[in-house]
Amino acid sequence: MLRTRFAPSPTGHLHVGGARTALFCWALARHADGRFLLRIEDTDRKRSSESAGLGFCDDLKWLGIDWDEGPEHEGCGGGDTGPYWQSKRLDLYTRHLAGLVESGQAYPAFETPEELQSQRAEARKAKRAYKYNRAALDLDSETVAAWIAEGRDHVLRFKVPAGEIRISDEVLGEIVVPDGELEDFVIRKADGFPTYHFAVVVDDALMGVTHVVRGQEHLNNTAKHLLIQDALGFEHPIYAHLSLIFNPDGSKMSKRDKDKALRAAVKEQGLESPPLDDSGAAAVDSAQWDRWLESKDHQLDLESAMSLAAVLGIELPEIDVDDFRRAGYLPEVLINYLSLLGWSPGDDREQFDLEFLRANFSLDRVLRSPAKFDRAKLLAFNLDAIQAMDADRFHGLLLEFCRNWHPEFLEHMDEAQFRLFAAANHERSKTLLDPLSSGRFFIEPCEQLRWTATKPVRKALLNGDPAGYDLLAELLPVLESCAWDAESLEHAVAALAAARAGDKIGKVAQPLRIAVSGGTVSPPIYDTLLILGRERVLRRIGLCLEARASLTAEAAS
């Protein structure tokens, strides 16, 4: 049976590159009625935590990718080839490691990281390629035994046999790594944990993984894995290496891009201490701030990163699946778009769902060349998906989206208002976030609205004869006595437009829009009025009329 696995390291959320890998692994397995497993690669004790592992699970579930074996999470996981955390499989690795030492295919080495570091630096200075010099192989067995007995720190290195290595890859074809390219790499660290290379080989073999689908950054590692498999007497799985996903500027899409953007903004604005947010609190606590500035390896937690971005006035690039979720993208759209990065069904069809992918996926249609991530196309797909759904579904999704991340909209609107809010925004929204970012004015206290004399505002309110302001003043008493439903409101506006503005609805609607929203953009005007309700509409028109003098002055200066 065909078995694939996705094996992330638990360093936070799932990023889009990983999501695509998981998706292709999933599709390959499902297409062949095989099994898809999830395994947490947490052999690096410094960067592992169990909660981060679960972040992946949430992201995968949200995308609609389920797994047959792996960590148990909301109905997924389980299985009898576990445990699925590498940190819980130590005895397995130890056993296989011992076998290699016994057969002379691996050996202990006692150099400290510092010693190796300086050797590398030397080689670099002499413009030589560095390779471990196998010094430990010259140690006699008594010395080795004595050093181990006294508890001296040591690693286990794999003794790389001579000869070229041929990698057979389903998407790249045959790749030959020349003889002498590999050094005797470490397979067990001084802390007793296996390195990635060793753990991955043992796990894939013991878990019955038949197809390894992973990013192309692992291509060079494959040679090492092949060697370990031979030494251990395991079969080689079938490999497929996926091209990388890049930012539009050609750089590799990385988790660090968010920190990169923030650092650039901090530098540009010349900040030395954490800036304060609206409430006067530091956007980032100072201990973390110092650490963050000190080392480019340190990443801000999501919370801090978002509040810092807000203060700095920059947009954080979406990198993780969770970022796209928060930005209001639909999971089926992200899946669809990701599928198209490096794979295509072979005809002109571009929009499809998971089921279509499952039914049609095959490795021989996977592209070798790297792809840039194009947010504009993703956005267009998201718009299509939103437009294609019915009103109830859009309302439901928007409601859930607000509950998760923007509860203030629910606090300031009753159920009927929110339903109208959803309906009025449905066809004009590219994301679930759009209605909220363009509709802040709906939930803002009337007194906080400010009108500024931008060009379109001047045009709508101050210019012309009669000026928009004049029409607005005439409209106010009409609305005061108007029945509060779409038809009546429309009639009132139309009547005024017919009488005073040459039947041009916009001449009345636009001043009205500016008065109630503070800006020139809103949902259709009658919807906007109904969502706000009579009281707020009348109040805002009044406030806007009061601002006429200062606005006129501002426009003149």
Partner RNA sequence: GGCCCCAUCGUCUAGUCCGGUCAGGACGCCAGGUUCUCAUCCUGGAAACAGGGGUUCGAAUCCCCUUGGGGUCACCA
User: Which residues ranging from 241 to 280 are in contact with RNA (CB under 7 A)?
Assistant: 243-244, 246, 248, 250-252
> How many whole angstroms separate alpha carbon 409 and alpha carbon 399?
9
* 54 vs 244, beta carbon nearer RNA: 244
Is the link from the previous residue into 83 a cis peptide, with omega within 30 of 0? Answer: yes
Reduce the DSSP state of residue 239 to 3 states and report it.
strand
Pick the stretch among 24-32, 141-149, 344-352, 464-472 that binds RNA (CB under 7 A): 344-352
* 253 vs 308, beta carbon nearer RNA: 253
Residues in the chain: 557
Q: Is 202 in the site for RNA (CB under 7 A)?
A: no
CA 289 from centroid of its chain's CA atoms? 23
Binding test (CB under 7 A) with RNA, winner from 143, 268, 285, 346: 346
Q: Is 387 in the site for RNA (CB under 7 A)?
A: yes
Q: Is 488 in the site for RNA (CB under 7 A)?
A: no
Q: Is 122 in the site for RNA (CB under 7 A)?
A: no
Q: Is 390 in the site for RNA (CB under 7 A)?
A: no
> How many whole angstroms separate alpha carbon 257 and alpha carbon 316?
8
Q: Is 100 in the site for RNA (CB under 7 A)?
A: no
Binding test (CB under 7 A) with RNA, winner from 76, 202, 311, 340: 340
Amino acid letter, residue 115: E
Reduced DSSP (H G I as helix, E B as strand, rest coil) percent helix, strand, coil of the chain, to 5: 55, 10, 35
Q: Is 165 in the site for RNA (CB under 7 A)?
A: no
Q: Is 299 in the site for RNA (CB under 7 A)?
A: no
Q: Is 347 in the site for RNA (CB under 7 A)?
A: yes
Question: Both tokens of residue 473?
Answer: 């003043």
Q: Is 411 in the site for RNA (CB under 7 A)?
A: no
| Contact partners, residue 487, CB within 8 Å, separation at least 6 | none
Pick the stretch among 2-10, 56-64, 226-234, 543-551 that binds RNA (CB under 7 A): 2-10
Binding test (CB under 7 A) with RNA, winner from 65, 186, 262, 309: 186
Question: Both tokens of residue 311?
Answer: 């203060």
> How many whole angstroms separate alpha carbon 317 and alpha carbon 304?
15
Q: Is 367 in the site for RNA (CB under 7 A)?
A: yes
CB of 68 to RNA, least distance (A): 21
| Gyration radius (Cα) of the chain, Å | 31
Binding test (CB under 7 A) with RNA, winner from 6, 26, 84, 196: 196
Binding test (CB under 7 A) with RNA, winner from 100, 160, 177, 530: 177
> How many whole angstroms separate alpha carbon 70 and alpha carbon 72?
6
Q: Is 219 in the site for RNA (CB under 7 A)?
A: yes
CA 439 from centroid of its chain's CA atoms? 25
Amino acid letter, residue 453: A
Q: Is 369 in the site for RNA (CB under 7 A)?
A: yes
**Secondary structure in 3-state letters for 92-107:** HHHHHHHHHHHCCCEE
Could you identify the residue written with the tokens 């060009």? 455
* 94 vs 277, beta carbon nearer RNA: 94
Q: How far is CA 227 from CA 104, 137, 158, 201, 217, in A?
A: 14, 19, 9, 10, 18
CB of 495 to RNA, least distance (A): 14
Q: Is 288 in the site for RNA (CB under 7 A)?
A: no
Tell me the H-state helices in 252-330: 257-268, 286-294, 302-312, 321-326
Helix axes 391-405, 415-426, angle to 10 degrees: 110
* 200 vs 284, beta carbon nearer RNA: 200
Q: Is 341 in the site for RNA (CB under 7 A)?
A: yes
Q: Name the DSSP letter for residue 336.
A: H
- Pattern 430-469, binding to RNA, x per CB under 7 A? x-------x-----------------x-------------
* 151 vs 250, beta carbon nearer RNA: 250
- Pattern 29-68, binding to RNA, x per CB under 7 A? ------------x-xx--x---------------------
Give the phi and the psi of residue 112 in degrees, each rounded to 5: -85, 160
Binding test (CB under 7 A) with RNA, winner from 34, 79, 275, 370: 370
From 131, 159, 255, 372, active-site residue: 255
Tell me the H-state helices in 43-149: 50-63, 90-102, 113-125, 141-149
Give the phi and the psi of residue 230 in degrees, each rounded to 5: -60, -45
Q: Please list every residue from 509 through 528 that binds RNA, using CB under 7 A.
A: 509-510, 513, 520-526
* 170 vs 554, beta carbon nearer RNA: 170
> If residue 187 lies in a helix (H) or strand (E), which one and from where to where?
strand 186-188
Site size with RNA, rule: CB under 7 A:
89
Q: Is 85 in the site for RNA (CB under 7 A)?
A: no
Pick the stretch among 96-104, 396-404, 505-513, 548-556 that binds RNA (CB under 7 A): 505-513
For residue 252, indicate whether it is catalytic.
no
Among left, alpha and beta (phi > 0; psi -120 to 50; other), residue 12 is left
Binding test (CB under 7 A) with RNA, winner from 49, 50, 118, 120: 120
Binding test (CB under 7 A) with RNA, winner from 50, 72, 179, 217: 217
* 182 vs 231, beta carbon nearer RNA: 182
User: In the chain, how long is the greatest CA-to-CA distance?
Assistant: 107
Catalytically annotated residues:
255
